[in-house]
Every structure is written in structure tokens, then in C-alpha cells.
Chains A and B, each alone.
Chain A
Amino acid sequence: AQSVTQLDSQVPVFEEAPVELRCNYSSSVSVYLFWYVQYPNQGLQLLLKYLSGSTLVKGINGFEAEFNKSQTSFHLRKPSVHISDTAEYFCAVSPRSNDYKLSFGAGTTVTVRA
């Protein structure tokens, strides 16, 4: 079984400031890692994913995340946020198997203020 912990439930940040959203996971098997964004009243949109290779993953909208196997973390960062980045962000993992079931963290609400 897998579990995901998002360490911050809410992150207020000023426009053009950097932001980091923390995600830790636990799993008895190797996993794939994902970050999704959910805008109000919408479904989830994939920001980025780590499957293998370079531990630094770049995604859409200027986001990037770094996989740290020793710390079982997959923190999401953006160097300069915009008002439009206000949303809910979910970290998720799935086992490296055929069932591909996603386990989600509780989510982090990012509120960007001018």
C-alpha cells in the first residue's frame, strides 16, 4: 500500500514570489510520482510526473519537482507565481505495476495575492 503526505494544507504567497509545496510518500514498492492541479470546480490537470531518469522533472506552467529517493519526497516548486496559480495542488503516487492506481495526498491550497 502507498500513502502520501502533503505537509502544508494551505500556502499563501505573494505574486512573483517563489513557492514550494512539500510531498512525502511511503511505499513498500517502487512508485511513479505525480503532481496535479485542480482549479475551482474543475477536474485535475497533470502538472508533471516522475517515472524514471533525471530526478528533476519540469512540468507545465513553470513548475518543477525533484524526486529524492532517500527522503521519499517529491517537492513541487515554482520560482515566481502568478495570480492564476491559485488552485488546489495534489501529490499522488502509483505503484510500478499494471494496476496503475493513484493514491492522493490531502492537497495543498495555494492562494496567490497581489
Chain B
Amino acid sequence: GAVVSQHPSWVICKSGTSVKIECRSLDFQATTMFWYRQFPKQSLMLMATSNEGSKATYEQGVEKDKFLINHASLTLSTLTVTSAHPEDSSFYICSARSWTSGEETQYFGPGTRLLVL
């Protein structure tokens, strides 16, 4: 199946710093990628839809200036958490949209755990 990678897998940073998370589709091109956030023991919440070559679409309540998304190529989307604070600590998961034999599927990355001290 299709593979999506994320880097880094975990990161610890100081409050006030910015953190960039990469999401790559390794063996397919993805014009659309999604970014989710997952709190412990909870479900995934969609943060934004990342479209190659255009601005991301953010879900209601998600600060676009706080969570910067760049989808510069068909295989790479990045999420930058700017001026991170402890409440931004979470598990961030991306997914990439793939078309195979006329069917659409989302493939998920392994996630990035962010801890802001």
C-alpha cells in the first residue's frame, strides 16, 4: 500500500519556539493532504486541508497564523507550529489523499508527538 512518512517522530521544544513537521507521500503524489491533531485517549480532529500550490483550508477554530501549512510539492506538506506553548502539546498526524483504480483513500502518517515545555 501507499506509504506516508512524518518527520520528526517526536520533538520537545521550549515555549515560544517554532516547530516544523514534515509529511511526505513516499510512493505516490498527493495533491491533497490533511493535518489532524489527537489528544490522549481522544479521536482525531481535522485541523486543515493542505492543497498543493494553493492556500490551506482551515477548520473552524484553528488559528491559521498559529499553524502554518505549506504544500510546496506533490509529495510534501509541512505544518509549522509557531510560538509554541504547552497547550500545543499533542500528537499531530497527517494523511495524504490517493487515487487508485478510481477509488480514493487517505493514507496516514505515523504521527509526530510534540511536547512543549
Residues of chain A at the chain B interface (Cβ within 8 Å): 36, 41-46, 49, 51, 90, 99-107
Chain B residues with CB under 8 Å of A43's CB are: 4, 6, 93, 108-111
Q: Across the two chains, which residue of chain B brings its CB closest to A101?
A: B46
Interface string of B34-56 (1 = CB under 8 A from A): 10000001111010010000000
State which size class the interface on B falls in. 20 to 34
Q: Is the interface of A mostly helix, strand, loop or mixed?
A: loop
Q: Across the two chains, which residue of chain B brings its CB closest to A52?
A: B103
- B105–A107 contact, CB under 8 A? no
Chain A residues with CB under 8 Å of B111's CB are: 41-43
Q: Across the two chains, which residue of chain A brings its CB closest to B107?
A: A46
Q: Across the two chains, which residue of chain B brings its CB closest to A44?
A: B108
Tell me the minimal C-beta distance from A39 to chain B in angstroms. Answer: 10
